Each structure stands twice: as C-alpha cells, then as structure tokens.
Amino acid sequence: MTRPFVLGLTGSIGMGKSTTAAMFAAEDVPVWDADAVVHRLYSAGQPAAQAIAERFPQVMAPDGSVDRSLLRTLVAADPAVLDRLNAIVHPLTAADRAAFIAANRAAPVLLLDIPLLYETGADAICDATVVVSVPMEIQRERVLARGMSAADFEMILARQMPDAEKRRRATYVIEALTEDGARAAVRGLLQELRSEHA
C-alpha cells in the first residue's frame, strides 16, 4: 500500500510560513498545523491544560485554559520553564500528528506545518522539508508592522535556528517575497511531487 509523501514546512517568524501553508491547503493538500494543535491543547479540559495547571497554576485563566501571555512572561523570567513545558506538550502534539497522518493516508501529499521543525527533530519523520524565507530586513519589517516589539522579535529569533541554517538543511526553499511568487512555487513543487510519487 502506498503512503503519503510527507512534507515538513517551516520558516522563522515573519517569513510567510502560515500564508504558504494556506496555499498548500488551497491545492487540496491536508495540512497539520502545530500551532493550532497547541492552541487546542491549551484550552480548558484538554490534557495539556490539565498538566500545565498542575505544574504552573499561576498561568491558568479562570476558565481553565492556559493564559498564553502569562505563560510567555513566566518563560521569559525563567527559561528552564520551557523545557518542562515542552516535556508536557511535545508528546501530545506528536500523538496528534501521528493520528493526522493515519487519518490522511490516502492523500498523495501531506504537509506538516511546524515552526520548530528542525529544532524539535520533527524533520526526521518527513520525506522532504520546505523552508519559507525572505531577506532579514523584510522579515523584521513584517514582524514590527504587526505590532511586536523589537525586543520580543529578538527573543523569538534567539530561540529559533538561524534562517541560513534552515535553508542549508531544506530540501526546498520557497522565497515568499510576494504572494504570487510563493503560490507559483507551491504549485510547481506539488506538480513535481505528484508526478514523481503518483
């Protein structure tokens, strides 16, 4: 039985990764969104929220969900919290991802949208990886235009693998300078993959 070709998609903040993932979805590629899964796991009654409430009750909202702004403040004050948090969240996201792959085994291509694809070693389960990239000055301009402070931007960058290293590791790089250019690159890549793995 054939199985899907699994593409891992990543890109640093402000590079256009989410927009590019939506372009794959528009081409009928099932997309697993790591950020969306974490958001769901942080909601009231979900296993991650319950585990975090036991370890870090100070970051919980009154409704039983995780207050992400309180969590960010806690991690900024004590970086060791991030490792303990990851120990809770990563196994849950991995199980959700495995269920997604199993549920979509008839699809020719699947996309795993994972911001920390290389940092978490998730690239090991992918057949190929795609990095979305733009020059640093455009990245900075986009992020600051969203209202993020320069200090928060630098803190996030410090936690992510440098873009140059991501590009070096990638099977494919999509330059997301314009939406039209990125869309053409997505379509070209899918045409290549579907013809090779039909």
Kindly report the pTM of this predicted structure.
Answer: 0.90
From start to end of the chain, where are the E strands? 5-10, 31-33, 109-113, 128-133, 172-175
Which whole-number Å values give the CA distances from 115 to 12, 97, 118, 123, 159, in the listed order?
Answer: 7, 14, 9, 11, 11
For the chain, which residues make up each domain, given as ranges?
A: 1-30+107-191, 35-103
pLDDT of residue 151: 87
29 in Cβ contact with 99 (< 8 Å): no
pLDDT of residue 1: 46
Homologous superfamily (CATH) of 1-30+107-191 is: P-loop containing nucleotide triphosphate hydrolases (3.40.50.300)
pLDDT of residue 198: 60
Using 50 as the pLDDT threshold, list the residues of the chain that sit under it.
1
Cα 65 from chain centre:
21
pLDDT of residue 175: 94
pLDDT of residue 157: 85
pLDDT of residue 111: 98
pLDDT in tens, 95-153: 999 999 999 999 999 999 999 899 889 999 999 999 999 999 999 999 999 999 898 88
